[in-house]
Structure 1
Amino acid sequence: MILAFLLAMQGFSPETNAVMDRSRREAAEARGEVAKPAAARGTLPVPPAVAAKFQACLDAATTDPDAGIKFANDWRLDGGTFHARQCLGFAFSKAERWAPAMVAFEQGADEAERAGSATDGARLWAQAGNAALASGDAAKARTYFDAALARGLPPGIEKGEAFLDRARTLVALGDLGGARSDIDVALNEAPKDPLAWLLSATLARRAGQMDLAQQHIARAVQMSPDDASVALEEGNIAVLTGHEDVARSAWQRAVRLSPGSGAGKSAADNLGRLSAKP
């Protein structure tokens, strides 16, 4: 029975679904931002002179990605610099056009570096990495995240999220040892991000480190009790450690919170297997 659950749990991966399934609202709120898709999150601090236009560009892209693309391109031709390219990448991301989003973020990063802002460049390299990861190109994503981390990000949540993003990329590439190293840094830099604890718990489960998995999923549940992905993983770990009642309750919560999501559907499947157990 345990083997069956282990096999079934490979169908939903919080590591690779996090790009599209979560808004990172906790991180966005911590930076005082409006939540955005992961591939375009992390709005750069902008000078007051361009802040209004930058916000107008983001608003246009949010309402109508095509209008946002036009707005950003017009602004870019009118001297919008790397801020216009970031908005262009955001607009392409809203349209789920990941290839041109990557190009826009990469070009923005190059332009920011030429303007003497390595930190802004690093942020844009990280956004290019998220666009690549969303597109399914983990190898390119790793190149972008490596570039972001090599150029340096401010300590704290920004740095932690970049390490967490690269850890997700390394999981997709099968480098679980490298992913563990990066997640450990992420937990130290961004201890208030529940996604970091969720992914750490999942990685520990896959490595058979069940004590660590239990400790870290408990932190994720404490921080984000209404997240279906967290509830799903709580159940996954509980069933593998012999706590079927806890698993059933956690999976039921996942279904209740988000029945139509990948996490909710996986939890429902697991509940069916648990009910069918002799």
Structure 2
Amino acid sequence: MILLSLALAAATQTTPQSKAQRAPTPAALPADPREARYQRCVTLADRDPAAAKAEATRWRLAGGDYFAQQCLGLAFATERNWMAAASAFDQAARAAELGHDVRAANYWAQAGNAYLAAGDAGHARTALDAALAAGELTGFALGEAQLDRARALVAAGQPAAARVDLDAALVNAPADPLAWLLSATLARRMKDLPRAQKDIAQALARSADDANVQLEAGNIAAVAGDEAAARKAWSEAARLAPPDSPIRAETAKALAQFPSR
């Protein structure tokens, strides 16, 4: 039986930029007179990243410190320049730590997410360890950092540790379909079929129009010996995937294992 491997450390390529750009900040942040300029810079980063990079650079030279550095990271993230974004967030986090500002935790989380998008799981793990060790993240922001660290742990070949972080992420960010998808994938790989079936059902309930979710639903159905469900899910994944997506080839290979009808 051919079982397609959905890479847990990079299961969805559409999420990292949105999280880096919209990552929530810790609650109860202290007031800072630089906030107004920061908000203008963030808005600009989303609309015109080149202009935002120029503004952030000027502001940093004029004393914008980690506010300017973090805005620079957001501008790079909009451009999908993940390594540059990760470096900017990393520098913002270090500066915020020196200033004893609780924003450092969020900057570390953003750095970790950007490092993952850049394919650097090692630096991602370091940044996410720092984000979570700070103890300042709560709610959804905490869950997303736990989810990202789980991805880094899988990339490092530590599935048991990833399981701990994924379970925590499901508690803190239960609305995120990616958390359920990755949890289901990890459960399948660890041969826990009941858990995989339960969690993929949650992912489908939240994001049935995601080709990655349908692909994994087919993988899990195939493990369970349910040919009809596997065919249906894989066919739906192929329908939803963009024409140039590798999912098209993967689903074709998966469906070929079954005799033609």
Tell me the TM-score normalized by structure 1: 0.83
2:98 is the alignment partner of 1:114: yes
**d(CA) in 2 for partners of 1:41 and 1:67?**
19
Compare relative contact order (CA 8 Å, sep 6+) and give the higher one, 1 or 2: 2
Partner of 2:7: 13
Q: Distance in 2 between matches of 1:268 and 1:161?
A: 32
Instruction: Look up the equivalent residue of 2:67 and give its one-letter code.
Output: H
Aligned residues: 257
Contact map agreement 2:25 2:141 (CA 8 A) in 1: no
2-side partners of 1:204 and 1:193: how far apart?
17
1:131 aligns with 2:127: no
SS at 2:63 equivalent: coil
Give the root-mean-square deviation of aligned CA atoms. Answer: 2.4
Q: Is the 8 A contact 2:181 2:213 kept in 1?
A: yes
Pick from 70, 76, 93 the counterpart of residue 60 of structure 2: 76
Matched, 1:93 2:87: no
Matched residue, 1:238: 221
- Choose the corresponding residue for 2:25, options 6, 22, 44: 44
Q: C-alpha distance in 2, partners of 1:266/1:53?
A: 47
Q: 2:198 maps to what in 1?
A: 215
Distance 1:267 1:75 in 2: 49
Report deviation, 1:265.
4.3
Give the C-alpha shift of residue 21 in structure 1.
Answer: 2.2
Is this contact kept in 1: 2:105–2:137, CA < 8 A? no
Which of 109, 134, 141 lines up with 1:151 in the alignment?
134
Q: Find 1:22's aligned residue among 15, 19, 29.
A: 15
Look up the SS of the partner of 1:136 in the other structure. coil
Q: Secondary structure at the match of 2:100?
A: coil
Q: Quote how far apart the aligned CAs of 1:193 are.
A: 1.6
- List alignment gaps of at least 5 residues for structure 1: 24-35
CA distance in 2, matches of 1:255, 1:110: 44
Amino acid at match of 1:169: A
Q: 1:111 to 1:126 in 2, by over 3 A?
A: same
Distance 1:265 1:93 in 2: 29
Q: Which amino acid aligns with 1:181?
A: V
Matching of residue 204 in structure 1 with residue 187 in structure 2:
yes
1:51 Cα deviation (Å)? 4.9
Within 1, Cα distance between the matches of 2:126 and 2:229? Answer: 40
Cα separation, partners in 2 of 1:253 and 1:77, compared to 1, 3 Å: same
Shift of 1:185: 1.1
SS in 2 for 1:78: helix
Kindly state the Cα deviation for residue 107 of structure 1 after the two structures are TM-superposed: 1.6
| Gap runs ≥5 in structure 2 | none
Say if 1:39 and 1:129, in contact at 8 Å, map to a contact too: no
* Counterpart residue number, 2:155: 172
Partner of 2:124: 141
The verdict on how the C-alpha distance between 1:107 and 1:68 changes in structure 2, with shifts beyond 3 A counting, is same
C-alpha distance in 2 between matches for 1:58 and 1:266: 39
Cα separation, 2, equivalents of 1:43 and 1:158: 6
Distance of aligned partners of 1:227 and 1:14 in 2 relative to their CA distance in 1, 3 Å threshold? farther
Residues 14 and 229 in structure 1, CA contact (< 8 A), matched pair in contact too: no
- Distance of aligned partners of 1:37 and 1:268 in 2 relative to their CA distance in 1, 3 Å threshold: farther
Aligned residue for 1:121, secondary structure, equals helix
Alpha carbons of structure 1 residues 90 and 105: separation in structure 2 relative to 1, 3 Å: same
Q: Describe the SS at the equivalent of 1:174.
A: coil
